[in-house]
Structure 1
Amino acid sequence: MATYRFDEREIGEDHPDFQAMAAAAHSLHMRPLCLCKAPGLEMYVALIRGRYFLKRMPETGSQHALTCSSYEPPAGLSGLGEVLGSAIRSNYDDAGTTTLRLGFSLSRRQVAAPKNDVPRSTNSGVHQVRSDGARLSLRALLHYLWREANLHRWVPAMAGKRSWYVIRKNLLKAAEGNFVGGRRLADMLYIPESFVLEEKEAITARRLAQFKRLQHVRGTDRPLFIVIGEIKEIGEARYGKKIVFRHLPDCPMMLRSDIAERLERKFMQERELWNMFGDLHLVACGTASIGQSGIPAIEELTLMLASAQWLPLENSYEKTVLERLVAHSRRFEKCLRFNLAADKPLATVVLSDTPEPVVVFAVPPESPDDADKALADLRSECQYQVVVWNCAGSEFPDLPPAKS
């Protein structure tokens, strides 16, 4: 548990006086200090739904101790560096909120289509990635929430404790304090509850109440909401396809045939790995609408693979890395791509149980020709020890041991 200094007093977040001390610091615009390293690192106070939280100042995560909850590797090791400060803006001088700029629409204008015209999909290419780093793609938004929920981190004590209940709870908490175009992100986010047979009617009632708030009203632009869930199956419907989410068996979401075809083509690798390895999770993040029929329909979608521990991964080589680290009880953080193009090198993990951070790169055999140079450039800019696994035939390298 982190310890903070308010003036001359040092307390932790679990102290009975913490909320009162944080409230006073917030009203006086004071900067409490995180004491993970001497002489202390400035934090700011965020007010979210009536409670106060301490957050690290922007671009200071790598200055905190490895064991501190505020530590994070330099943004340049992941895709975060491309969007931080542009698509993700922390308002630490206000209420501690964060403003997000999205690269996809949350409404659809009602325009009559010509007769015999087939609606075009709004899916804009592989992984929803655009070259404009100033806005978050669907995948980048999912990675952002996963990171804010600390679901990209692993410590051995988490073994057996990550259920969908925990995933949902942390994602909803991570969405708090984030705003899109002046609207609360949490108000436009739907994540299915964990299904419990004995509570089926109550769960359904809560879902219908939320859908009613999100439902399209005739004659206005059609509002879209963001849905995040684990896919159980993508199957045939009478017209087009349907997605069935786990924990939401009685409410499939419709998927137009053209979007389904693009999904099959763009995410072939993800679906192949998901079909091959039964312990993988396939997480979807998309926009959807609810028409007069009350049936939700997907508008855009991205997919993300996650390990048995819900750690995001891109390929079988990353799966090997994550499984090895978990099996050896290592503590680490998974680096996320956000908007970064698929042909750009990305650190796989950063070990946080060593005296100093260790960055691990897993380089797939099918990497582009200029990958070696790009990786060399990234290594030259990295201030940490680097370990590279060239996956084309070489054995997994020895890693520095965890400190005792």
Structure 2
Amino acid sequence: MGNTSIRVRRTGQILDVRDATASTEARKRLLAPHHGSATVECLCTNPPIPMTVAHRTIPSETWYLVAADREQAKRHAPDCLARQDGAGTPAAPESAGPAAMIDETGVTLARGFLREWRESTPERETPPPRASRDPDTAPRGVGLVGLLWMLWSQAGLNLWKPGYAGKRDWDIVRLRLRDAAARIRSAKADHWTLADDLFVPPQFNSREAKSKATSEAFHGALNAALASRRVVFLLGEIKSATRLPDGAMALRLHNALPSIEITVPPGLAGDLERAASAWNGLVAAERTDRRILLSRVRRTVDGATISCVGAGVMRVDANAIPFDSSYERRVAALLTEQGRAFAKPFTQGNAPSWWARKMDALGVAPDYVLTDLFPGVFCEVLGRMSDREYRSHAEAKLATYRRAGVPLWAWNPSEDADPPPLPEKQR
């Protein structure tokens, strides 16, 4: 029998291809959480082969494995089960190459985005744009969460040094995001960059005339784009999330006057709540949580509402550093308080760096990387070691670090209430 194992790059979890592809329910349970480009890797050869968990809805919804790169796909063993999973399936765009290429100049997306919508009429049965996971509206395999990670990384907002203290207010974050958006391009559109369609509300201060003028200019540009039936990207910090009687959700953004309210339809609202379930969802999230939303929006037919057609959310701390759990937030606070320089890696979309290359070589993503040491130290927050499956994945990940001789700092909150001392930084 051929190879039966794939590894999740973020966690190091090993999945048996036979289990993961046994049924539609198994695919949804085991593959769907890792939907995206190069999120898993096939272990039929060494080094492992990056694989994409692709998604389709026609003729029926399912998730399946395809190679993240056409050249890499040639390295599969002839009887590899992961290689055979996509057999008979229409080729996904990512099978012809990575969903995004990242280099020193920025990001090149493999596909473009639908920029306009038209309502259906008897003469023209053109549907409005669908959610971001559909192939007509986003590069398959990137998605809006992945795009948000790319933006944050290109802007350097997942990096921290002591000198950044007091220099991460929303105006700075907005400026850096807009600059980063100009470095995200599409291979399908020669002159398009994400900056052409990205709207980030400015910080508003009623006592400053310049702030008022900036806010008016922002709203004028956003309203003009939406009035011309454009589908645009709207990025901001969520101020409140309210569940509506029909199951939809109303999201209100910070830093905008007049305030911006986005209506999220019921199906997508449920997806967002499930994605945020680890932190009590969007509606019940703590008031102290900073939740960053990247959404695709358009005006409704009557022009009265900004409607969401796709969204991705992540949490950040007061310094705009992303985190995935309350334990990670504690570690980020500790690193900041002790004046350390560090990075918060993403599963995908990291800007080029020595630690991003190391991650790719190892096939795992640490929670943080201490960058004020040489060699740098990878940091792991082992927040759920009481869960048997999580513990197995974590131990496999730690074993990967040991085999590679990677300097490691780890905290297991189930054994120690407080994080252990950090390695001393070099003088």
Q: 1:338 to 1:247 in 2, by over 3 A?
A: same
**Residue 241 of structure 1: how far off its partner (Å):** 3.3
Which moves more between the two structures, 256-265 or 374-383?
374-383
C-alpha distance in structure 2 between counterparts of 1:97 and 1:355, whole Å: 26
Q: Secondary structure at the match of 2:334?
A: helix
- Shift in Å, 1:136: 1.2
1:362 aligns with 2:381: yes
Counterpart code for 2:222? F
Any conservation in 2 of the 1:290–1:296 contact (CA below 8 Å)?
A: yes
Amino acid at match of 1:185: L
Q: Report the AA paired with residue 426 of structure 2.
A: K
Deviation of the 1:391 alpha carbon: 2.9
CA distance in 1, matches of 2:404, 2:215: 49
SS at match of 2:390: coil
In the alignment, what sits opposite 1:400? 423
1:382 Cα deviation (Å)? 4.5
1:211 maps to which residue? 222
2:349, 2:375 → 1: CA distance? 28
**CA deviation profile, 1:41-73 (whole Å, cap 9, x unmatched):** xxxxxxxxxxxxxxxxxxxxxxxxxxxxxxxxx
**Aligned-partner SS, 1:396:** coil
The 1:301–1:133 alpha-carbon spacing in structure 2 relative to 1, beyond 3 Å, is: closer
1:103–1:136: 8 Å Cα contact kept in structure 2?
no
Question: Secondary structure, in 3 states, of the residue corresponding to 2:327?
Answer: helix
How many aligned residue pairs are there? 304
Give 2:313's aligned amino acid.
Answer: L
User: 1:98-109 counterparts in 2 under 5 A?
Assistant: 98-101=107-110, 108=117
Cα displacement (A) at 1:91: 7.4
SS across alignment from 2:320? coil
Q: Which residue of 2 aligns with 1:255?
A: 264
Shift of 1:89: 2.2
Query: Could you tell me whether the CA contact under 8 Å between 2:106 and 2:154 is conserved in 1?
Result: no
Q: Return the letter of the residue paired with 1:202.
A: A
Deviation at 1:317, TM superposition (A): 1.2
Deviation of residue 255 (structure 1)? 2.2
Deviation for aligned residue 1:169: 0.5
Superposed CA deviations along residues 293-342 of structure 1, whole A, max 9, x for unmatched, are 264221111110101211000111111111111111111111122389xx
| Structure 1 unaligned blocks of 5 or more | 1-75, 77-81, 114-118, 126-131
**C-alpha distance 316-89 of structure 1, shift in aligned 2 (>3 A):** same
Q: 1:311 & 1:393 partners in 2: Cα distance?
A: 26
SS in 2 for 1:287: strand
Q: 2:401 aligns with which of 370, 374, 379?
A: 379
TM-score by length of 1: 0.64
3-state secondary structure, aligned to 1:223: coil
| 1:120–1:103 CA distance, 2 compared to 1 (3 A) | closer
1:284 match: 293
Could you list the runs of 5+ residues in structure 2 that have no partner in the other structure?
A: 1-49, 51-67, 70-93, 123-127, 351-362
Deviates more, 1:373-382 or 1:148-157: 373-382
Instruction: Determine the C-alpha separation between the residues in 1 that align with 2:100 and 2:410.
Output: 30
Q: Report what 1:224 is aligned to.
A: 231
Aligned residue runs from structure 1 range 229-308, under 5 A = 229-235=236-242, 240-250=248-258, 251-271=260-280, 278-291=287-300, 293=303, 295-308=305-318
> How far, CA to CA, are the matches of 2:327 and 2:103 in structure 1?
38
TM-score by length of 2: 0.61
CA distance in 2 between counterparts of 1:304 and 1:358 reads 25
2:370 is aligned with 1:351? yes
CA deviations over 1:331-363 (Å, ceiling 9, x no partner): 1111122389xxx96301111112320111112
Matched, 1:139 2:145: yes
Give the Å deviation of 1:229.
Answer: 0.4
Q: 1:186 to 1:234 in 2, by over 3 A?
A: same
Structure 2 counterpart of 1:363, one-letter code: L
Structure 2 residue 323 is the aligned partner of structure 1 residue 313:
yes
Q: CA deviation at 1:110?
A: 3.8
CA contact (8 A) 1:102 1:135 kept: no
Displacement of 1:105 in angstroms is 5.4
Match of 1:324 among 334, 345, 348: 334
In 2: Cα distance, 1:349 partner to 1:293 partner: 44
CA RMSD of aligned residues (A): 3.7
Distance 1:345 1:103, change over 3 A: farther
